[in-house]
């Protein structure tokens, strides 16, 4: 498999190069596979459906062909995933995909663990360390830190916005030691991401160090997240006839979205044969992509702090990949887009608990609210010609190709629950008067000492620190 560049289609590199470089320093573009091979129907239609690890192996295989032997790939997959995602039905047409059963209780574990093992595999023959730079709006950093902690030959520097993530998220980041360091930046996530991207295009810095990224700009973070889309959609396809009276004509995946890496992974899964009809891009007040879908104009903006902080991204990197895969018209046919504010997020947590009994985190709540409104009449209004004002919370005015299936009540939804609700206990408590129990693996970090290093958002200061400390 060869990989090209979102900004220069003439680029052609192998998987190892794409993984270790993170992004193309020459163009600033992101690496993309040149094709998305569809899995065999005999595999997709197996009864019972394949296991999560079987799916992971079959999906990863074409992307690492001739670079990672099958036996080594199988070992990597087995080591990556002693856990799996869980599909939980919460009403006859709604399923929650729980992605918090990994070591850091967030969906980022799926991508970070695969990436860490692949990078370590490719780095075995190198004499000097590989330095990972990663910006996080909440969960990425802890997942990456956990995945790479004590991995030989690799150092990790995590940048997070000081005071703009939950206390527990910060505790998970600030307590690493050894080869993993955390910098608390006086700024926003976008400031953190800008520091990382600038470092990658700094030829002087790259002449001194081997740099790579662990954000979803790295293709080895993105590809493995497609595994749980394939797994969950195959499970739901089999369950629909038993759980509901609808015809199962459409499976819609509702994705809480910030940097849009997760949704891009869903697109990859669909291209490879996942029975997904369409997507809902559900965002908070940082609604850059919904505005693009509604208006046709892509305009980045400073990020806004919200209760669903992992989605506080005003300049989502993976917009480039989506735009490289599809035209705007194709996106509008495939996606519905929806955004809500903090008031809507609280309402989402509350209404999900009241209607289904399920306690959902603030990010999943944005997705739940989107789906609840879409099936509750908002999509029907659009189909009937009532156009919404996309500058206000709600469903943006494009009508996707699957809209009629929703109106005819022949659609089911998979809502992505991207983090354990206990990571946002105060917000959940505000909504429902109940704080979720803390999983043991989160309890352990509470008493650990903080080691985070203060950092300004000035690039020269950041570079000086890197040169002095790497």
* 29-74 confidence digits (pLDDT tens): 999 999 999 999 999 999 989 999 999 999 999 999 999 999 999 9
404 confidence band (pLDDT: 50, 70, 90): very high
Residue 126: pLDDT over 90: no
Measured CA distances, 165 to 195, 196, 448 (Å): 18, 18, 18
Measured from the Cβ of residue 328, the count of other Cβ atoms closer than 10 Å reads 14
The predicted structure's pLDDT at residue 153: 87
Tell me, what's the pLDDT at 65?
96
How many structural domains comprise the chain? 1
**279 lies in a domain?**
yes
Residue appearing with tokens 């993309």 = 32
**Confidence label for 341 from pLDDT (cuts 50, 70 and 90):** very high
Q: Does a structural domain hold residue 360?
A: yes
Residue 111 lies in a domain: no
Q: Report the C-alpha gap between 179 and 196 in whole angstroms.
A: 18
pLDDT at 349: 98
The yes-or-no verdict on residue 81 having pLDDT over 90 is yes
The more confident residue out of 166 and 83 is 83
Mean pLDDT, rounded, for 127-151: 86
State if pTM tops 0.85: yes
For residue 48, say if its preceding peptide bond is cis, omega within 30 degrees of 0: yes
pLDDT number for residue 189: 85
**b (16+ CB within 10 A) / e for 262-279:** bbbbbbbbbbbbbbbbbb
Q: Where in the sequence is the domain holding 306, given as residue range(s)?
A: 220-436
Would 384 be classed as within a structural domain? yes
Question: Does residue 146 lie within any of the structural domains?
Answer: no
Query: Does position 157 have pLDDT exceeding 80, yes or no?
Result: yes
- Return d(Cα 118, Cα 222) in angstroms, integer: 13
Q: Is the pLDDT of residue 23 over 80?
A: yes
Instruction: Among 13-17, 135-139, 460-464, name the one with the lowest average pLDDT.
Output: 135-139
Q: List 281's β-bridge partners, or say none.
A: 255, 337
* 314 found inside a domain: yes
Is residue 345 domain-resident? yes
Res 247: pLDDT:
59
Q: 85 pLDDT band (50/70/90 cuts)?
A: very high
Domain-located, residue 172:
no
CATH number at residue 312: 3.40.50.1100
pLDDT at 15 exceeding the cut of 70: yes
Q: pLDDT of 405-434, one tens digit each?
A: 999 999 999 999 999 999 999 999 999 999
């Amino acid at each position: 498999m060869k990989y090209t560049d979102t900004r220069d289609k003439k680029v052609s590199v192998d998987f190892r190069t794409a993984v270790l470089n993170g992004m193309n320093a020459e163009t600033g573009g992101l690496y993309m596979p040149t094709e998305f091979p569809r899995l065999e129907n005999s595999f997709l239609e197996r009864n019972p459906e394949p296991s999560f690890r079987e799916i992971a192996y079959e999906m990863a295989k074409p992307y690492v062909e001739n670079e990672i032997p099958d036996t080594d790939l199988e070992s990597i997959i087995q080591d990556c995933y002693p856990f799996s995602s869980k599909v939980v039905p919460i009403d006859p047409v709604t399923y929650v995909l729980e992605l918090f059963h990994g070591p850091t209780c967030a969906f980022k574990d799926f991508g970070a663990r695969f990436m860490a093992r692949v990078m370590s595999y490719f780095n075995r023959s190198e004499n000097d360390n590989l330095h990972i730079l990663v910006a996080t709006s909440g969960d990425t950093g802890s997942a990456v830190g956990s995945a790479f902690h004590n991995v030989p030959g690799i150092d990790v520097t995590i940048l997070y916005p000081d005071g703009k993530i939950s206390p527990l998220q910060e505790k998970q980041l600030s307590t690493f030691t050894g080869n993993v360091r955390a910098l608390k930046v006086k700024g926003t996530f976008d400031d953190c991401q800008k520091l990382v991207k600038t470092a990658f295009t700094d030829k002087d810095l790259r002449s001194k160090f081997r740099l790579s990224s662990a954000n979803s700009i790295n293709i080895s973070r993105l590809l493995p997240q497609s595994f749980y889309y394939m797994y969950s959609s195959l499970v739901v396809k089999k369950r629909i006839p038993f759980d509901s009276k609808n015809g199962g004509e459409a499976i819609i995946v509702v994705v809480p979205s910030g940097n849009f890496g997760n949704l891009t992974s869903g697109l990859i899964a669909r291209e490879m044969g996942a029975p997904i009809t369409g997507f809902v891009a559900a965002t908070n007040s940082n609604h850059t992509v919904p505005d693009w879908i509604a208006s046709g104009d892509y305009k980045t903006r400073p990020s806004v702090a919200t209760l669903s902080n992992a989605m506080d991204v005003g300049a989502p990197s993976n917009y480039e990949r989506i735009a490289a895969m599809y035209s705007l018209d194709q996106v509008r046919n495939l996606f519905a887009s929806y955004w809500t504010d903090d008031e809507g997020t609280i309402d989402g947590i509350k209404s999900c608990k009241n209607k289904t009994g399920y306690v959902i985190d603030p990010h999943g709540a944005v997705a739940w609210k989107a789906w609840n409104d879409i099936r509750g009449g908002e999509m029907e209004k659009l189909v009937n010609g009532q156009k919404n004002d996309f500058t206000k919370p709600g469903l943006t005015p494009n009508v996707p190709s699957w809209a009629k299936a929703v109106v005819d009540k022949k659609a089911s939804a998979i809502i992505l629950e991207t983090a354990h609700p206990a990571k946002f206990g105060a917000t959940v408590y505000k909504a429902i008067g109940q704080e979720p129990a803390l999983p043991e693996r989160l309890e352990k970090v509470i008493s650990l000492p903080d080691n985070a290093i203060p950092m300004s958002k000035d690039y020269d200061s950041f570079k000086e620190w890197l040169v002095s400390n790497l």
